Structure 1
Amino acid sequence: MTPTSLAIPLTGLPFPRSEYERRQQKVLDTVASAGLDALVVTARGHLRYLTGYDGNGAYFAPFPLILVPGRQPTYVVREYDEQAVRSYSCIDEIVTYTHKNDFAKVCADVLRQHGLQGERIGFELGCWSLAPADVSALQTQLPDLKIADASRLVSSVAAVKSERELKVMRDAMRMTDLAMRTFQSSLREGVTELEMAGTMAAAIEAEAGKAGGEIGMAPATILFGERTKLAHGSPMQHPIRRNEPAFLEVGASKHGYMVGLVRCAVLGRHPETESLHALAEEVIEALVAAIKPGVSAGAVDAAGREVLKRSGRQGVFRQRTGYQTGINWTERGDLSLEPGAEDILKTGMTLHMPNILCSENGYLFGTSAHVLVTERGAEILSDTPRTLYRA
């Protein structure tokens, strides 16, 4: 815990300070390799990864973390949020601004104090939490500033997990598996999507309480019958009937590390979605077999698409194959398994590969694998079988 957090209950860092210092140094090493003089981190997932603070106050204006080789990191945050940042982060050097229009001037002043006003600095131009207007305002304050796109720099480091991170993710996966088992055992004619969501949440809450309440479940995509045609649909008061499909995408999280899965079921029989699921299982098997250190993300993607090509049903798959997981897996710029992706897989990376296929009639159905890249290949993190559940 930071010294100021000791006086405030239930605050502090989820990992030792040394873990955050290790992450920051890895990022600084990458900054040097990229030929940059400094890095300005604004993506909320990256801020949490590097400092422990989740960046919730940054909806107002960016909360830049300024990383400079040979210097202590500096956090520029809104004055209103200063105590929260001090209580939840490992950063000691904090500079504040009061109003949104103060952000650019205060941030520019910090960069000047570090002698960076004319240097080449990386900004996360392709991530959330940094608007073009923010960059323009900084450039106005510092006309000689050389801005480089460093959107993928932090994510390239964060993609490889430490043992501490993996322990947290395994804990979260146990809760995700519990949610899946609850979903399967509770599936019966007449149960509604919202009832199912409540049953799963109660099961997770009861189990998480035994672990100190550190684990939570993100809002789940639970869809029954014709509503399985809705991508990312929210659960409603809609019941499942006999011979209808059921779709679930859910993930538990611990300290911000989300570990998701996709599983589907059929109450009775539904040949159209059953056929989709069988194909998705084949694709997942090929993807898992293709994962090993040194392989490109594009090559893994191609292994799955080859199965679809052989089936003659390439058109049923309409998205990327997978993505890196960890803190805030929806961050733009993270490693992605997609055609032509050149990122090289490394031991310690975690990936989620949801193979959700779309039938001619619009049903979305499939399964997924959440894996850890090891020296031997892919380690499956979930205990829930990838096969179709029939109730």
Structure 2
Amino acid sequence: MQVRLEKLSSWLKQESIDAAFLTSTANVFYLSGFLCHPHERLLGLFVFPEAEPLLICPQMEVKQAKNAGWSYEILGYDDTQNPWEMIRDALTSRKIQPNGVRTLAVEKDHLSYRRAELLMSILPGVRFISAEDQMHQLRMIKDSKEIGIMREAARLADYGVEVGFSALKEGVTEMEVVAVIEKELKQKGIQSMAFSTMVLFGEKSGLPHGIPGNRRLQEGDLVLFDLGVVLEGYCSDITRTVAYRSAGEQQREIYETVLQAQLSALDACKPGTPIGELDKTARKLIEKAGYGKYFPHRVGHGLGIEVHEYPSLTSTNTQPLQPGMTFTVEPGIYVEGVGGVRIEDDVMITEEGCEILTNFSKELLIIR
């Protein structure tokens, strides 16, 4: 964590920014090792160009912050105290006068208007600068420890798909299969899923972000699984699609098209490739097969502390792939009344090419 703090401090110094104040759970965790979901309460981390950082959190979380390895100052407050006044006093005690913080890097996409007003009340005349781009750049390249955790998270996602396949039987509901998957993963020690587990049958598989319900499984249904776990603060994300008992000609055609599009995009995953080429590669193949209008989303997204983070794998992203980047590759085709197919893997760029972290079979499986 010290190296990460030093990188942010160096950026502040280089850009002549007086301080950074980060309030998102993800960025605080990245810089401190302390994972906290404070609900409506304030969680914040001050980082300075020269001075030691300062963590602000609810008093009930102070011990957890220390247990996570945070060795710098912590401002813990209870529900009757005003944390903003405590921040002002703490800065003053460090001989940082309120009017001495003229520029403050914040997460503009996260900081609420109300909290911005409160910051301005204790830092008169402060000017806000975006911290997002710098934090995205820092978090986008994973270190060996992060990659090790993500490998294990991907293995558990593979297991979740295996459990889901085993739970398929005629008449079972989508939600019943979701329950089986999540129960088995909890028994493996997983405390939370990376997002709401998706199990969609038949025509509902044609909804890219469909919501599982009481739809019952029938012969001839496509079944789409999209799930991921959170392990030690890092996410995995996998999608597989199978057919139940039989698959029609169009279903097979759609599946094969998506599979070839995904494999082609994976082949392009190597250092130096412009990120947009992955989307273009998959999209070109799907368009050639006549299903272009049925592929409505980007080919993938960054993956790490958050299930959706940088880089964004859109066709317009010209940034080159770099070793240590982790992201998903997940083309899909969704046809109303027929169903949908999406195949998604977690990928890490290496010095030579890429490592695919999720390894569950991608052949078209007919579940009997």
CA contact under 8 A between 2:106 and 2:131: conserved in structure 1? yes
TM-score with structure 1 length normalisation?
Answer: 0.83
Is 1:253–2:233 an aligned residue pair? no
CA distance in 2, matches of 1:66, 1:189: 55
**Aligned equivalent of 2:313, options 337, 345, 362:** 337
| Structure 1 residue 242, shift from structure 2 partner | 0.5
Residue of 104, 111, 123 corresponding to 2:106? 123
Other-structure match for 1:69: 49
Q: Does structure 1 residue 40 correspond to structure 2 residue 21?
A: yes
Quick check: 1:316–1:359 contact (8 Å CA) kept in 2? yes
Deviation at 1:339, TM superposition (A): 3.0
Paired residue secondary structure (1:177): helix
After superposition, the Cα gap between the structure-2 partners of 1:28 and 1:247, relative to the gap in structure 1 and judged at 3 Å, is: same
Match 2:278 to one of 262, 286, 300:
300
1:371 is the counterpart of 2:354: no
Distance 1:135 1:99, change over 3 A: farther
SS for the counterpart of 1:327 is coil
Corresponding residue number in structure 1 for 2:200 = 223
Q: Percent identity?
A: 22
2 CA distance for matches of 1:35 and 1:100? 36
Higher mean alpha-carbon deviation, 173-182 vs 338-347, is at 338-347
Q: Whole-Å Cα distance in 1 between the matches of residues 281 and 249 of structure 2?
A: 26
- Unmatched segments (≥5 aa) in structure 1: 1-19
Question: Take 1:377 and 1:43, find their aligned partners in 2: how far apart are those partners?
Answer: 32
Matched, 1:139 2:120: yes
- TM-score when scaled to structure 2? 0.88
Task: Indicate conservation of the 8 Å contact 1:345/1:373, yes or no.
Answer: yes
| Residues 140 and 364 (structure 1), Cα distance of their counterparts in 2 relative to 1, 3 Å cut | farther
> Secondary structure of the equivalent of 2:331?
strand
Correspondences of 1:74-93 after superposition (within 5 Å): 74-88=54-68, 90-93=70-73
> SS of the counterpart of 1:357?
strand
1:107 aligned partner: 87
For residue 92 of structure 1, report the CA deviation from its aligned partner.
Answer: 2.8
User: Which residue identity is paired with 1:383?
Assistant: N
Deviation by residue 1:344-366 (Cα, 9 ceiling, x = unmatched)? 32211111122232214473321
Kindly provide the CA deviation profile for residues 2-51 of structure 1, in whole angstroms up to 9, marking residues without a partner as x.
xxxxxxxxxxxxxxxxxx21222233334445553322111111112222
The CA distance in 1 between the partners of 2:338 and 2:15, in whole Å, is 45
Q: What is residue 74 of structure 2 aligned with on the other side?
A: 94
* Cα distance change of structure 1 residues 202 and 62 upon mapping to structure 2, 3 Å threshold: closer
In structure 2, runs of 5+ residues without a counterpart are none
Counting matched residue pairs gives: 362
| Matched AA of 1:124 | E
Matches within 5 A, 1:124-203: 124-127=107-110, 130-203=111-184
Q: What SS is found at the alignment partner of 2:236?
A: strand
Within 1, Cα distance between the matches of 2:115 and 2:318? Answer: 30
Instruction: Provide the C-alpha distance between the structure 1 equivalents of 2:69 and 2:56, rounded to a whole number of angstroms.
Output: 13
* 151-160 vs 116-125, greater mean Cα deviation: 116-125
Greater shift, 98-107 or 176-185, is seen at 98-107
